[in-house]
Structure 1
């Protein structure tokens, strides 16, 4: 038995196992290896790689993971106790855990008497023997053993004696840590704290960990309550991925532990946001903009009075310094904005405006008028930047549209449909007329516009479309309703959003497309 004493709290990441049980969260073998390397570099203490007894991919992962040069983290294989009435030496699943070759093995066992009698269909005595025997066998084979007490809080509330006795069985087997699992996610923070203290009093000298689920939106709160009550290991996933509503979100827990509670758990917290985005990108999931600490809007300010206060004293509306977790302050401009929003945005562009100046008033009035027409600049900072440049006379038009035309032809003879766009632009006095086909009208327009401009501006080859979103405004107007199109463009170094609004979805798309390329050229000229 041991207590994890070299760090105040150890981080146990189960993104690669428990996280993949979440809907829409899937990882290839290569994805899992990449994330494992990134977690290690960030400073996570344990990385649970999967269950080698459950599928071929996890077996292959542990084979390939032996080649990883992890500098800090310990890799853990996950599995179950031996089966009922089966000698542990003859249990194939336990043997696979050893064959995985990891320094740590995590096993789960039943803490809830209901699960023992109704699911396992065995006796409480045999259940305790299953736990004790498996832990002892793994320890005999040189493994650090983490025991996950499944359904512990539900089991404790039904029968404290039975739940505690199951933990004692793991401790008797030599478990290095006992992890209390809120498997159903229905326990409240006060209950977690009280029960954690009861465990520490009953089984002193063994490290206690916490594993929570988010069914009541309390996974992070419950983990923090457990740490405050003495837990020294926190299990969770990056961005809270997991079964049902997800697991404890480590991207929230980590800064709370380190900044709010003064417990150093990672060497460089400024890399947190990058890690969060990396896992989203690898798993092909959209990032949650409103995520605490790491979300795009976590430090976004929109209301004029708020922005005015932040401009004077950031901590008046920010609970931490955004850069401490790798994030940044974001001033939004909308119909709710005051002049402070405009002044800060202009300053970010290197333009100094005085509060109350005619220029500041003109920009603000233009923003509010356009938002009244259906525009939204919160996610379209590129279009806002162009607006400010134009209103302040800091804009030089790189090209001018003469006309564009789009068509969609559907054939009855089995021929593939054809989307085509023609574009005529002037660059200076030179006219360029091009035509292109694409997978959809917007793609055809994009190709035709680039084809026309590339001879004059070859650098736009670096720009590509990263996202395209359409929203119908005032849907009661049916097919005559205005359409708002948001396009996100990227040059591989950064991205920017542009917006277009029209009763015609093609025109709205065109406006956003043109702004995206126009802004890129404005910034390049500025450099």
Structure 2
């Protein structure tokens, strides 16, 4: 069976803007274990106290199948194996499997380690042997293997043979600079398999945009172990993305590397890791991005409505994703019908209700509204027009004060008055970091007494776009807001010449949708 090895918590954590706390790492390990990952690289215990703390915490996890692996390097030239702090730190974690990397490229041995080619081979052999003799299973990462193989193939192979003879369980060929092309990777993997009697793995980076392709071709050439990170996090341009590799292996190549149940959690896991990294989820990612199965053009939408295979290479539900129909000025009545057919199965393109909704959407888009990223606003609009939906609250008025005091910062305060369906009025005020934050705080303060579930909602993104730049400061703006209650994400939109009013529309839709969603679930 093909082994999946995740290095998000180590290699991914080295990416620009990525930082995981110890608590984040433990949550990610549990998610990756549920998914079905075989090995999870937790960090570099010889490099910092945080990683040592992490390995202590990881011991208490009750994992179903995943093995948590510490990462380190071959010994330093001035130390014998039993004296090397890095190797001793690996043993101190108590992990039964450890990963170490060594130099496969003579250039790195002479110019980086400042040792001879033969001394580098001795570093590899003695380090692996020391760990094996101390009861550890060793995965050996051959750093810069493909560059070394291109430069001096015999020497690169000698470094692998040193690790194999010392007792390594698996040798992993690394395209550390990420610049090699797929056929070069395939040739190198085949050459190693012919020479080394061990399982061979692959570890690729994405500096030439080939990370995933290189990993896939390595597997087709015989690699039995694949390393990568979720969402492609990693140094420079990142690592090969496991969220693309895993479904490609299982669904395209028929390799049973993960269960169907695990595969169904792929999108959820990818989003969780984005959230814990405190980075926007890349919605254009294959398989797990919200755009992966999104359709905008009218002809495309008409086709997928008749047969989804016409414009979808897999069933999105297999990876825990979903088909999305984008309502825009390029979409016709078929797009609207596809969007609403689950709730309104008896309508067709000529139904008066569909025509009325189509006309209203065209009018709204002419005013500057855009529903591609605002499914929640579209849902509320549809319910209002087709079902006579009544909102959970009415705005009676709001006021925003922005005050600048000399030698002090800017102060924002919002006062708001809303009425619940039973006629009860709530009048509240709140401060904020800015006018929109103050409005949000005041609105929540007013509504949470009636609807406590709104405490679950938090804004995850806020975007403003100027629609007619020639109008200067009087231009109309569109505000897009993304919100989440910890289980789902939704988008809302507002448009106005006044940014506060546009923000208000998107904010109220966001909270209204939460209440509508909760009522639908009960």
TM-score by length of 1: 0.93
Task: Tell me which of 298, 301, 308 is aligned to 1:304.
Answer: 298
Equivalent pair of 1:85/1:126 in contact (CA under 8 Å)? no
Does 2:248 match 1:248? no
Q: What is the RMSD computed on CA atoms of the aligned residues?
A: 2.2
- Residues 280-319 of structure 1 aligned to structure 2 (within 5 Å): 280-319=274-313
Equivalent pair of 1:59/1:100 in contact (CA under 8 Å)? yes
In the other structure, the counterpart of 2:430 is: 437
Does 2:54 match 1:61? yes
Q: Residues 254 and 429 from structure 1, CA distance in 2 versus in 1: closer, same or farther, beyond 3 angstroms?
A: closer
- Residues 126-137 of structure 1 aligned to structure 2 (within 5 Å): 126-137=119-130
Question: In structure 2, what is the Cα distance between the partners aligned to 1:398 and 1:52?
Answer: 53
In the other structure, the counterpart of 2:39 is: 46
Task: Tell me which of 399, 416, 419 is aligned to 2:412.
Answer: 419
Q: Residues 462 and 162 from structure 1, CA distance in 2 versus in 1: closer, same or farther, beyond 3 angstroms?
A: closer
Question: In structure 2, what is the Cα distance between the partners aligned to 1:400 and 1:86?
Answer: 73
Equivalent pair of 1:182/1:212 in contact (CA under 8 Å)? yes
Greater displacement, 395-404 / 474-483: 395-404
3-state SS of the aligned residue for 1:390? helix
Q: CA deviation at 1:413?
A: 6.4
> Deviation digits for residues 158-212 of structure 1, max 9, x if unmatched?
1111111111111121211111100000000011001111111122x21110000
Question: In structure 2, what is the Cα distance between the partners aligned to 1:76 and 1:375?
Answer: 50
Equivalent pair of 1:272/1:326 in contact (CA under 8 Å)? yes
Task: Tell me which of 66, 77, 85 is aligned to 2:70.
Answer: 77
Gaps of 5+ in 1: 1-6
In the other structure, the counterpart of 1:494 is: 488
In the other structure, the counterpart of 1:474 is: 468
Q: CA deviation at 1:403?
A: 3.5
Greater displacement, 66-75 / 153-162: 66-75
TM-score by length of 2: 0.93
Q: CA deviation at 1:301?
A: 1.0
Task: Tell me which of 503, 508, 512 is aligned to 2:502.
Answer: 508
Question: In structure 2, what is the Cα distance between the partners aligned to 1:438 and 1:135?
Answer: 60
Equivalent pair of 1:434/1:451 in contact (CA under 8 Å)? no
Greater displacement, 364-373 / 315-324: 364-373
Greater displacement, 189-198 / 336-345: 336-345
Q: CA deviation at 1:493?
A: 4.4
In the other structure, the counterpart of 1:4 is: none
Task: Tell me which of 253, 269, 274 is aligned to 2:263.
Answer: 269
In the other structure, the counterpart of 2:227 is: 235
Question: In structure 1, what is the Cα distance between the partners aligned to 2:225 and 2:147?
Answer: 20
Question: In structure 1, what is the Cα distance between the partners aligned to 2:6 and 2:277?
Answer: 16
In the other structure, the counterpart of 1:145 is: 138
Question: In structure 2, what is the Cα distance between the partners aligned to 1:247 and 1:104?
Answer: 22
Question: In structure 2, what is the Cα distance between the partners aligned to 1:264 and 1:488?
Answer: 36
Does 2:346 match 1:345? no
Task: Tell me which of 111, 117, 133 is aligned to 2:110.
Answer: 117
Q: How many aligned positions are there?
A: 518
Q: CA deviation at 1:349?
A: 3.5
> Deviation digits for residues 3-59 of structure 1, max 9, x if unmatched?
xxxx1x101111111111001111111111221222222211111111111111112
Question: In structure 1, what is the Cα distance between the partners aligned to 2:5 and 2:394?
Answer: 57
In the other structure, the counterpart of 2:385 is: 391
- Residues 138-177 of structure 1 aligned to structure 2 (within 5 Å): 138-177=131-170
Question: In structure 2, what is the Cα distance between the partners aligned to 1:66 and 1:513?
Answer: 44
- Residues 328-407 of structure 1 aligned to structure 2 (within 5 Å): 328-350=322-344, 352-407=346-401
Does 2:173 match 1:180? yes
Q: CA deviation at 1:121?
A: 1.3
3-state SS of the aligned residue for 2:429? strand
